[in-house]
Structures are given as structure tokens and as C-alpha cells.
Amino acid sequence: MARSPVLARWPRLADVLCGLAIGLGQAPLGLWPLALLGLAGLLARLDRSSGWRAGAWTAWRTGAAYFALTLHWIVEPFLVDVARHGWMAPFALVLMAGGLALFWAAAGALAGGLRPGLSRGLGFALALMSAEMLRSYVFTGFPWALIGTIWIDTHAAQTAAFWGLHGLGLATLCILVLARAQPLGRGLATGAAGLALLTGLGMLRPDPPAIPPDAPVLRLVQPNAAQHLKWDPGMIPIFYARLLDLTARPAPGAPPALVIWPETAIAYRLENAGPLLSQIAETAGDAPVVLGAVRGTPAGATNALAVLDATGIPAQIYDKAHLVPFGEYVPFGDLAARLGIRGLAVAEGGGFLAGPGPQVLDFGPLGRALPLICYEAIFPNFGRARLAEADWMLQITNDAWFGQFAGPQQHLVLARFRAIERGMPLVRAANTGISTVVDATGALTDALPLGVAGTLDAALPPALATPPYARLGDLPLLIAMIVSLVGLMTRSRARAH
């Protein structure tokens, strides 16, 4: 096959263009055909690289461009308080993109040591997905911008119920590798057949049962409190009044059985907000209220979710267990504070304390819910041990930190994949959006868009049977990938001798 002029004259530019193309497949654009072209270009570049060093640099450049485009929203939290944190914004983007690209570089280096062609392509696919799984867990984990998420609005996304997002990403790469290993016409046919098979497997998954006409109704309240104004003393009572007004709106149908406010909905410590909590409960009538607030404990503050009873007393409390590094806490916080580095979400140097772990909340006729606060919904493994006790998932979040474009939409995509992987609905109340009810196939039954204040009254969809991935997690796939990769490397070295 002739080498293209771009690859021949500007190979480094070609790497960057491949990374940008892959990034365009992620939300909010969702241009997955361009992502497939970018991945195919990366495979072609790796196949032409000479040795592990060239493979590492090729994959790193592609990965850095991909993460820089996909995660450009990472600068948004630093711009909320520009005077205090603005100087960190460019460093955050560069370090995030370059650091995450190191996982791709490791996979490229390993592939560069294999024989060109099918062995190198499959080796890279296995190594990259193993590295992506690693970054989903190490250093508290960051499973954002995974390749498999490009499929969210297609039938292929449903296969995540069988093998998770890493399995979906591996299947995508393997289809491209097999297609590239053949002449152009046959390769296109192989690629089309592979994508058709992936789609067909997803279509085998059943739709959730219909929602009964008399199903209880949930009310999601979205106040749209901009982050730079949220803690302004002059705006705090305005946002609180807005929350009350939205809660008190007459229901178009049956009255809500549960009212849900977003993360840190009130700007007062939970333990000091007794009169307000009573007022909130009175406004909601007979419906209990879920809300987010900072909670003080003898050991320190937590990011909490509270369930208020009819008198305003927090009958159930969940403290967020998986905190955001450098957002909700700073490692070695006291030392970092002396250097002028503080968590974005709190003033204290050390930040929030982590809660004891996942738990399940009992909502009586509405069933039992696994609570997730913001970032916790991006982790496929979070709360998996408690899934058998839950009927649905409840996420409260404040995506105002992420701006009004890519960040909130990518966050929602990850929450939708949790519904697919677990076969259970997810209810999501977000401060500035997107507040929505997600059924067990990841589809939105209804939603409030970004940047508006309003309420959403919706019934809770039923669950599906527990999928294989919810029971098994990533371990079987990880073992299979490592065994396959070791076998491939052994075979390649044997042929070399």
C-alpha cells in the first residue's frame, strides 16, 4: 500500500490529526465514523514505526492530541475563581493530556517491538485496552474518555452489558485491525461485517418493560446556579428561593412521590440548617426530599446526600466516598496549602473527608437506590458489591464546574453506561443540567437541558435482569487480555528467531 503524502511528509502532524479525529467521536459531537478513521490512522502509523521508541512517540502524540481535545473542559473549574486558581488552568490541561497519553505510549512501545502487520495491530489493541483499564483504577482512577464511549447513541453500546466499556473498546480496535490486515476491498467488507456484528449483538438485548401508568413520579429540581455565583452571599438566598419555588410548582399529573435536589443544593452546613430543612420539607408536602449539602463531623467536612422526612429531619445520610483529587481534596493538603495549592471545591487545605463507602437508601414504595454523588458515577466498579440490594441508581451532581459544553455531556454519557452495564435505571439531578431519568438501556426518558432552571416530573423505569458485566466486572477481560498479549509476544519472538 502506498504511503500517503501526509504520513510521509508530516508524520508528527499525522499523529496529532489522528488524535483529534478520535476525539471528535466523543460527546458532545459524537462523530464516531471520524473516530474510527482516526483509530485506523493510528494503527497505520504504528505499523510503519520502527522499534519500540518510535511506537511510543507515535502513540503518545496521538493520545496527547486526543485527550487535549476531549478533556479541554478541564480548564473550566480553574476559571470559576480566576484570581485564585486561573494560573493552574493551562498546566492542568497540558499535564492531564500529556500524562494520560503516557498510557497510550506504553501500549505503542510494546506494539513497536512486535512484527508489523496483524501481530502488531492486535498487540497494540490488547496493550492499549490493558493500559486504559489500568488508568481506570490507579491513582484513584480516571475512566473518562474511554474509546468505547463513542458508541453511546448506537446499538453497539448495549454490548457493554456483557463486557463493559473496555471490552467494547477492544472489540472496536480488533475490528479495525482485522480490516487493515487485508486488501482494501476485502478490508472494507471485513470492517463493515464486524461493525454489523457488534450492532447485532447489541440489538439482542431486550428493551425494559413498559412503565406502569400508575408508577410513582419523581420530581427533579434543577436550579441552574452558576458556579461563580453559587456561593456569593447576595445570590445564596436567591438560589434557595428558586429551589423552593420549583419544588412547590403544581404537578401536571400525580403529585411527586420523591423530590430530588442536586449536589450541594443548599449553601449551609447540614447540621446548622434545621429551620431551612423544615421549610423544604413543608414545601414538598408529603414527598420526602433528597438534597446535597456539606456536612460537618467531628473529624471534618463531608460532601453529603441527605433524605429529609416530612418534618425536615435527615432520616438517611450518605457521605461521598470517592472524592475528586485536587477538587474535593488535595493529597498532602496542609503542605500543598502552604504552596498556594488548594482544592477547588473547598477552602480547607485537606478538603473533604471520604465517607465509609457505598450504601443503599430505602425509599419504601419506590424501592432501594444506590446513591452516587457527581464523580462517583464515572466508575464502573463503584458500588458493584451493593448492586444486588438496589433497584435503581440515584445521582446528584453539580456539573456547573464543567462549563456548558463538553464536560457535562461527557459526564452524562458515563452515567448512561452505568445504567447499561447494570441493567437498572438511573435518576440524575444536576445543578445546571443535564437532569434526566435514564432507563436500563441507557436511553433518556426525559431531560432538562443545560443552562435552564426547571423541574422534571418523570416515572421511574423498571430494571432489566442483571447483566454479566454487573456480576463479573473487569477481571475476566483483564485476564483474557494479559494471556492473549503474552501469547502474542511469545509467538512473535519465536518467529523472529
Give one DSSP letter per residue of 415-444, joined into a string. HHHHHHHHTS-EEEEESSS-EEEE-TTS-E
Q: Please name the residue ranges forming H helices in 113-183.
A: 118-135, 160-180
CA torsion sign for 82, 84, 88, 92 is: negative
Place of cell 460527546: 27
309-326 as b/e: b if 16+ CB within 10 A: eeebebebbbbbbbbbeb
Residue 288 and residue 307: Cα distance in Å, rounded? Answer: 7
Q: Please name the residue ranges forming H helices in 285-349.
A: 333-338
Q: Please name the residue ranges forming H helices in 49-137.
A: 51-70, 76-79, 82-85, 89-112, 118-135
Residue 328 and residue 77: Cα distance in Å, rounded? Answer: 12
Q: Which of 76, 263, 328, 376 is catalytic?
A: 263
Contacts of 273 (CB under 8 A, 6+ apart): 266, 293
Residues 485 and 113 sit within 8 Å (Cβ to Cβ) = no
Instruction: Specify whether the backbone of 332 is left (phi greater than 0), alpha (psi in -120 to 50) or beta.
Output: left
Query: Which of 147, 73, 71 lies closest to 104, judged by CA?
Result: 147
CA distances from 403 to 42, 136, 153, 238, 432 (A): 30, 23, 22, 21, 9
Residues 160 and 167 sit within 8 Å (Cβ to Cβ) = yes
Residues 433 and 451 sit within 8 Å (Cβ to Cβ) = yes
Is 389 catalytic? The answer is no
Is 320 catalytic? The answer is yes
Is 230 catalytic? The answer is no
**DSSP run (H or E) holding 314:** strand 314-319
Q: Which of 76, 132, 374, 421 is catalytic?
A: 374
Q: Which of 76, 230, 320, 328 is catalytic?
A: 320
Residues 13 and 6 sit within 8 Å (Cβ to Cβ) = yes
Residues recognised as catalytic:
263, 320, 374
